[in-house]
Amino acid sequence: MRTRSLASQILAINTLLIVATVLTATVVAHFELTGPESRRQALVLAAAILATVLANSLVLRRRFQPLEHLIDVMERVETVAPGEVRAVAAGADSEEARRLTEAFNRMLARLEAERAATAGAVLQGQEAERARLARDLHDEANQSLTGVLLHLEAAAQDAPEGLRAQLRATQEVATQAIDELLRLARELRPAALDDHGLHAALRTLLSRAPVEARLESFYELDRLDSDRQVVIYRFVQEALSNAVRHGRARHVRVLAGEEEGCVVVRVRDDGCGFDPAAPRAGLGLTGMGERARLAGGRVELRSPPGVGTEVELRLEERVTCAS
């Protein structure tokens, strides 16, 4: 009984009660099965018992159907993307099922709110840490290397001719290290995103790409809240890097628009493409998808081999409130 469903347990108990009641009634009524008429009545009685059990089964299945649906929703709520599961009203024919569904809907709303708040905190924490690292690289490490470069310049002026060439080579290495640190600092936290907004930051990012890249925006990206702006920037940054390093693309297009109440950003390239079903180690697509899910969105990939790749980010539209 413990492994069966509640409806099966109730049906089994009802069947036992019906059979026991009928048998008790036949004993009390001194029902005899000796004559043909009595045997025919017994068959009719057995058929009535069977019909009652079947009817009881149909009624129980109908009454428990809203509860089964609610259980199915509750089992799936943690395995799907945020916002994709909603409990359906159980109907007014069952007060208990209706109250249970309403309670679950309230709990689900609280869960979605907590998940959204947590996701926002995670994104803000990630970007705050990136900004701190960018400042440390720019202010601490870069200044230290600049000091080393100045000392090398001073030493090279008074050094013998044979040593001067080595010092000049060391200066070049230090200069390359400074440029690399500046590049890393810009990638960790682009100043254009904070100073001029997402649209300008994307144009700056694409202008520095080693391939021909252009932005075609049919949506006012700067209307979005800061969290979604960061998600879109990181998405384009990673997709552009994949197109250059893995796809060997020569042209990249970034299209931003609005579809069905969602902000949609697509990055298309003319690279070699790859099989989306094959393992994609090192492409960063998992991180892109996780970041999109934290912001309540999703990432889709289309890449016919030899044709190019299109990566799509779809976010629910949410703009900053005017003050």
> Are 95 and 212 in the same domain?
no
Where a domain ends, among 84, 111, 138?
Answer: 111
Q: How far, in whole angstroms, is CA 143 from its chain's centroid?
A: 40
pLDDT class of 322 with cuts at 50, 70, 90: very low
What CATH code is carried by the domain that includes residue 237?
A: 3.30.565.10
| Mean of pLDDT over the chain | 79
Residue 96 falls inside a structural domain? yes
Q: Which residue type sits at 187?
A: E
Q: Spell out the residues 6+ positions from residue 316 whose beta carbon is closer than 8 angstroms to its own.
A: 83, 261, 262, 263, 296, 297
Q: How far apart are CA 264 and CA 272, in angstroms?
A: 24
> Are 212 and 311 in the same domain?
yes
Residue 248 falls inside a structural domain? yes
b/e string for 37-69 if b means 16 or more Cβ within 10 A? eeeeeeeeeeeebeeebeeebeebeeebebbee
Distances (CA, A) of 265 to 150, 237, 262: 45, 12, 10
- Domain containing 62: what range? 6-111
Looking at the structure of the chain, the number of domains it has is 2
Residue 166 falls inside a structural domain? no
Residue 187 falls inside a structural domain? no
Residue 123 falls inside a structural domain? no
Residue 157 falls inside a structural domain? no
Q: Compute the average pLDDT of residues 143-168.
A: 82
> Are 92 and 208 in the same domain?
no
> What secondary structure does DSSP assign to 199-236, as a single string?
HHHHHHHHHTSSSEEEEEE-S-GGGB-HHHHHHHHHHH
Q: Which residue has the tokens 């005017």?
A: 322
> Are 105 and 214 in the same domain?
no
pLDDT at 215: 93
Q: Compute the average pLDDT of residues 128-149.
A: 80
pLDDT class of 323 with cuts at 50, 70, 90: very low
Q: Are 86 and 107 in contact (CB under 8 A)?
A: no
- Rg (C-alpha) for the chain, rounded Å, is 35
Residue 176 falls inside a structural domain? no
The encoded tokens of residue 141 equal 């490490």
Where a domain ends, among 78, 94, 111?
Answer: 111
Q: Compute the average pLDDT of residues 18-27.
A: 81
Q: Which residue has the tokens 């609610």?
A: 70
Q: Could you report the per-residue pLDDT of 185-230, keeping only the tens digit for each? A: 777 777 777 778 899 889 988 998 889 999 998 888 888 888 788 8
> Are 206 and 316 in the same domain?
yes
Where a domain ends, among 78, 111, 144?
Answer: 111
Q: Where are the beta strands (DSSP E) in the chain?
A: 212-217, 251-259, 262-269, 298-302, 309-316
Q: Spell out the residues 6+ positions from residue 46 whose beta carbon is closer than 8 angstroms to its own.
A: none
